Amino acid sequence: MNLQSYNDQDLVKVYITGNEDGLQELLRRHKSKIYTSIYLLVKDQYLAEDIFQDAFIKVINTLRSGRYNEEGKFLPWVMRIAHNLVIDYFRKEKRTPIITSSDGMDVFNMLHFYDESAEDRMLRDQTHKDLKAMIHLLPDEQKEVLLMRHYADLSFKEIADLTDVSINTALGRMRYALSNLRKMLKTKEMTYKG
């Protein structure tokens, strides 16, 4: 059986009926595009491989349980799963960039502008929690662009390519996200004052 001539939907059916070759062909066909999209976000080969594997475990579980219903849209569906896993990773890790000096020391560990008081530290921690909660309230498209831009440090061109929208749409979503965060912050400040 030459599966290379099958379309994605037929390969999904072949796999669901018990032939592992259907999934192997889907993997062969789409692995590099899916892996590359993950790698562009996380910029770490091993992490990208882990997330890629997690994505395909979800794909396999969904297909085996009979819950797959993305008629003819296999690749966008898998890309969305991978994307969500990357965003989950950034949410959990809240990565901060490491800037090293010429001798390899982390610059942020060397800088002590002032001794932070317990009160300052509590205020900073609360602000971070509040901001995370507000980001969580944003519509998915806005949240996604914000996380990709600030936590994954992607350009708007990369974000547009990965989310399959125009650069203007990605920029617009970012603008709306920031505008919505400002409104939420103002509402919160009024709550504190009132």
Domain-wise residue ranges, the chain: 1-104, 119-193
Contact 7, 29 (CB under 8 A): no
Nearest to 148 by CA among 43, 45, 52: 43
Distance of CA 44 to the CA centre of its chain: 14
Higher pLDDT, 133 or 44: 44
Distance CA 143, CA 164 (A): 16
- For residue 110, is pLDDT > 50? no
Q: With respect to CATH, is domain 1-104 assigned 1.10.1740.10? A: yes
Distance CA 69, CA 139 (A): 24
Burial of 29 (0-12, 13-18, 19+ CB in 10 A): middle
Q: With respect to CATH, is domain 119-193 assigned 3.40.50.360? A: no
Cβ atoms within 10 Å, residue 123: 12
- Average pLDDT, integer, range 175-184: 86
Higher pLDDT, 129 or 29: 29
pLDDT tier for residue 96 given thresholds of 50, 70 and 90: very low
pLDDT recorded at residue 12: 92
At position 125, the amino acid (one-letter code) is D
Contact 63, 16 (CB under 8 A): yes
Nearest to 38 by CA among 74, 73, 88: 88
pLDDT recorded at residue 151: 66
- pTM score, two decimals? 0.53
Distance CA 85, CA 91 (A): 10
- Average pLDDT, integer, range 145-169: 81
Contact 144, 83 (CB under 8 A): yes
DSSP of 71-92, one letter per residue?
TT-HHHHHHHHHHHHHHHHHHH
- For residue 67, is pLDDT > 50? yes
Considering only 23-37, 129-143, 158-172, which range has the smallest mean pLDDT? Answer: 129-143
Residue 32 DSSP SS3: helix
- For residue 107, is pLDDT > 70? no
- Average pLDDT, integer, range 10-20: 92
